Structure 1
């Protein structure tokens, strides 16, 4: 059973529509895929509808990747199977969403001050109907020939935390985010916590604090974690009683990772679904729940 619990669509900063992502997941031999767009659930309905057109079993796990902060560092929290209409969590997601356009516009202005011939119109066109964010600015920098890949724009030279074009965004306190997701019946997993190539990472003490707040797990098997980081996280998870997951963090053509490049153990997936009370996995074409 192949399970990928971290993917993105055009509802945020991926390049596949939700329906295209579902078809790609099925074609790639996945049995379960989670749609976890940044701070939004807008792609869930299209993804669920696409299940009906598949010729093989596939189950959709609804979720989101929430923008959070702990120890003064921006982090991402994967939230699974929560009630999308729970008012407190919905309000916080809307605050993050509403901050995205003014933040991106300010980053465009900073880049132009640095002499980069980037325009807001081009960034908005790249984002399309998705929630505009740094990956869309990064793609514009790739088009301009200033960086070779989207990932190379997320550095101290450009858009990385503290970089000359970086602008802070509205972010949830991470412990409060855990509490809100729990109150909405969901399950929380710390996304790529030791991805040092993305910028600053948090301490093990911060992860322990989140575990004390009710965090369910940590994402261990991820393209941005080397073997040492994975071993370290597995040991920490064992000490803290946390689940460990593996995921592709698929963004379509915007990143090099492939659907199903890393996967989650079926027993861990089963525990996530047992803990969730806000929503249920969506089986399609005879898919297994």
Structure 2
């Protein structure tokens, strides 16, 4: 059983539409895929409508959080998307994305980069605009070679020359809100140091004590020593250890299913969730 619990579509900063994403997940031999767009559940309905037979969809979102000045992402699975308090917080984060992106475009202009807001808006399309869209603009302009190359201190990494903060959740509040909505929380790529500062292990222990369910261990931004350290930390703290591609379509080189989650861990996630349930494929038809 092949399970990928972290992917993005055009509902945020991926390049596959939600329908394309589930079809591509089935073609990649996945049995389960989670759609976890940034702070958004907007792609879920389209993904469900297109879900091929044999593929199960886990609905979710990747929540933008900040702890002691350090940005971090919280994967939230199988929560009730209509729970009012969590919906309000996700809306606040989404609403701040456009002014934040415009401010980063302004900073890049001051650095001599001939970038225009219209270019970024075109790349983002109907998705929730974010740094990957700006990074793609930098690739188009020849400023950097790849999207990943834009996430350095020179450009868009946390604390980088063109970085601008946005409204983000306190992760302890995120855990509380997701739990209240019947969901399960997993700290995404906690050891991804090349993205910027990471929260200390003592903070992960405090999050675990507050109800965090798991940490993402198998991830493209974790080298093997980091994975080993995160596996040990998960075991020490009694956290679920997941694996995921963090697929963004053509915006990243990682493939769907390149990193996966153990079926027993997936089973525990589904057992803990009460806000929503995995959706089995119906051959591209909406379930009754």
Given the alignment of the two structures, is residue 102 of structure 1 paired with residue 91 of structure 2, yes or no?
no
Measure, in 1, the Cα distance between the counterparts of 2:168 and 2:282: 38
Aligned to 2:168: 171
Aligned to 1:26: 26
Shift of residue 27 of structure 1? 0.6
Q: What is the TM-score of this pair, normalised by structure 2?
A: 0.97
Aligned to 1:269: 266
Q: What is the TM-score of this pair, normalised by structure 1?
A: 0.97
Measure, in 2, the Cα distance between the counterparts of 1:161 and 1:285: 41
Structure 1 residues 214-244: Cα deviation after superposition (integer angstroms, max 9, x where no partner): 0000000000001100010011111100000
Structure 1 residues 234-264: Cα deviation after superposition (integer angstroms, max 9, x where no partner): 1111110000000000000000000000000
Q: CA RMSD in A?
A: 1.0
Aligned to 1:7: 7
Shift of residue 72 of structure 1? 1.6
Aligned to 2:148: 151
Tell me the number of residue pairs that the alignment of Structure 1 and Structure 2 aligns.
284
Measure, in 1, the Cα distance between the counterparts of 2:106 and 2:281: 45
Which of 99, 110, 114 is equivalent to 1:113?
Answer: 110
Shift of residue 286 of structure 1? 7.7
Shift of residue 285 of structure 1? 3.4
Given the alignment of the two structures, is residue 221 of structure 1 paired with residue 218 of structure 2, yes or no?
yes
Measure, in 2, the Cα distance between the counterparts of 1:150 and 1:286: 34
Measure, in 1, the Cα distance between the counterparts of 2:242 and 2:12: 22
Gaps of 5+ in 1: none
Give the ranges of 4+ consecutive aligned residues of structure 1 lying more than 3 Å apart after TM superposition. none
- Secondary structure of 1:136 counterpart: helix
Shift of residue 101 of structure 1? 0.4
Structure 1 residues 135-181: Cα deviation after superposition (integer angstroms, max 9, x where no partner): 00000001111111101101100011111111001000001100000
- Secondary structure of 1:172 counterpart: coil
Measure, in 2, the Cα distance between the counterparts of 1:111 and 1:172: 26
Structure 1 residues 25-64: Cα deviation after superposition (integer angstroms, max 9, x where no partner): 001100000000000000000000001xx3x400000000
Measure, in 2, the Cα distance between the counterparts of 1:62 and 1:177: 17
Task: Check conservation: 1:71, 1:206, Cα contact below 8 A.
Answer: no
- Following superposition of structure 1 onto structure 2, how do residues 54-73 of structure 1 map, counting pairs within 5 Å? 54=52, 56-73=53-70
Measure, in 2, the Cα distance between the counterparts of 1:163 and 1:187: 32
